[in-house]
Structure 1
Amino acid sequence: MSESLDGKIAVITGAASGIGLATAERLLKGGATVVMVDRNEAALNELTAKLGPKAVAQVTDLLDTDSCNAMIPEILAKVDHIDILYCNAGTYIGGDLTETTPEAIDRMLNLNINAVMKNVQAVVPHMSARKTGDIVVTCSIAGHFPTYWEPVYSGSKWAITSFVQGMRRQMIPHGVRVMQVSPGPVISALLADWPEENLRKAKESGSLIDADEVADAVEYMLTRKRTVTIRDMLVLPTNFDRV
């Protein structure tokens, strides 16, 4: 039996597009208040005006140390408490290691790993004091097997799998659930650097999923009764045959 999201307060990073936006819309529909976190202030203002008063804008640049560190305190100045933190923001690097740059690697590791760890660290005392809360992180199927065609991205997601599953165990005594969702390829801006031919073939073969499918999985995880934790949910296109 599912539990209601009505009245819950959720925070979603990377909420101005893709999986983050789809999940924000889904949780709002379920009655939650959603703090939409993104660095794109113009997009946030437009979206929150469109989505209504339960959509709250939070402009944060997760790659800026001061901005990232200020995120949770700034949010708690806007809302009474945080029931759900969904760390979704991330970036992608495909191809061989020799095809990327040190600067791109730093940016990916800072966003995909460091920002997630810092966001979780910041919210844990708040949730622990309340003896309840849910933390969800967007991982990837690439965090479950050695994806040789995207080793930098895969490495960042393996780190997240380890972090999430360690924190899941650490937070059990505090009443806080820690979970991850691991999508296969999703139609989003993260695939912008895919070769056009590869993207075309993937779309035509049904080897990509929509962001709504991931949002559906996150909603399912969050609406289980408190005695149940979905520790990880893999969401794959049916025709995805690389695993």
Structure 2
Amino acid sequence: MTLPLQGQIALVTGAASGIGLASTEAMLRAGATVVLADRDARALAPLCERLGPAALPLVIDLLDAAACETLVPQVLARCGQLDILHANAGTYVGGDLVDADPAAIDRMIQLNVSVVMKNVRAALLPMIERGRGDVIVTSSLAAHYPTPWEPVYAASKWAIDCFVQTTRRQVFKHGLRVGSISPGPVITALLADWPADKLAEARASGSLLDPSEVAEVILFMLTRPRGMTIRDVVMMPTNFDL
């Protein structure tokens, strides 16, 4: 039986944990070879050993501008092609704006916005040449709602949501699909930066998603017929909408 992503090469950033890891596992099960890009070398080695030979580690710090430029070229040199980019790496700054560390704001905007834009641009070039490719960016429910406890984070996701939707309109003529996944709160390390009262409230009410649930939607987006683009999926725990 042919698997839906058989023969495809995928690149996932921030792949060592959370949504990135769950997305990697889902694509591996669907037959893809997946390059796991992450700065956590100690996590990547045992992960790839567990996941098998189709999981390829790539240790890289995307906040290093010079290293970031090598991301896609390294994948192409190793695998010869790139069919899927899941631009997932990101960070979180929550709480009141007046309490935010300016250095943390700079780092978050760079990783959540600038790095995503540069990674997507680099991936589009070989995809356009081949006339086929998929880009999925991890956005957030915060891109669609002015969340009062995370103005900095929400602003970064509003920016990237605009980027995804405008870029999609530029490249669809080349046979490329660009979309985003916008989950509500997901059980990942990013929640460690949530205000304690909001996190306690979410846990008590069952208002958190599991990364595997997000990965299932990503796989759905990737396996639609080529004439269909799922441009943005907003998903949340039902209780979170109450």
Mapping 1:89-104, distance limit 5 Å = 89-104=89-104
Q: Which residue number corresponds to residue 6 of structure 1?
A: 6
Q: Sequence identity of aligned pairs in percent?
A: 55
2-structure distance, mates of 1:196, 1:98: 18
Task: Please identify, of 61-70 and 193-202, the stretch whose mean Cα deviation from structure 2 is larger.
Answer: 193-202
- Give 5+ residue unaligned stretches, structure 1: none
Match of 1:160, SS state, is helix
2-structure distance, mates of 1:216, 1:206: 19
Is 1:241 equivalent to 2:229 in the alignment?
Answer: no
- Give 5+ residue unaligned stretches, structure 2: none
Q: Which residue number corresponds to residue 72 of structure 1?
A: 72
Is 1:122 equivalent to 2:114 in the alignment?
Answer: no
Task: Please identify, of 96-105 and 190-199, the stretch whose mean Cα deviation from structure 2 is larger.
Answer: 190-199
1-structure distance, mates of 2:94, 2:66: 29
Amino acid at match of 2:25: E
Match of 1:77, SS state, is helix
Task: Please identify, of 194-203 and 217-226, the stretch whose mean Cα deviation from structure 2 is larger.
Answer: 194-203
Q: Which residue number corresponds to residue 222 of structure 1?
A: 222
CA contact (8 A) 2:94 2:195 kept: no
Q: Which residue number corresponds to residue 209 of structure 2?
A: 209
1-structure distance, mates of 2:147, 2:201: 19
Match of 2:238, SS state, is coil
1-structure distance, mates of 2:92, 2:147: 13
CA apart distance, 1:197: 4.1
2-structure distance, mates of 1:4, 1:46: 26
2-structure distance, mates of 1:49, 1:142: 35
Mapping 1:5-44, distance limit 5 Å = 5-44=5-44
Mapping 1:163-174, distance limit 5 Å = 163-174=163-174
Q: Which residue number corresponds to residue 151 of structure 1?
A: 151
1-structure distance, mates of 2:216, 2:172: 25
In the alignment of these two chains, the number of paired residues is 240
CA apart distance, 1:192: 0.5
Amino acid at match of 1:48: C
CA RMSD of aligned residues (A): 1.1
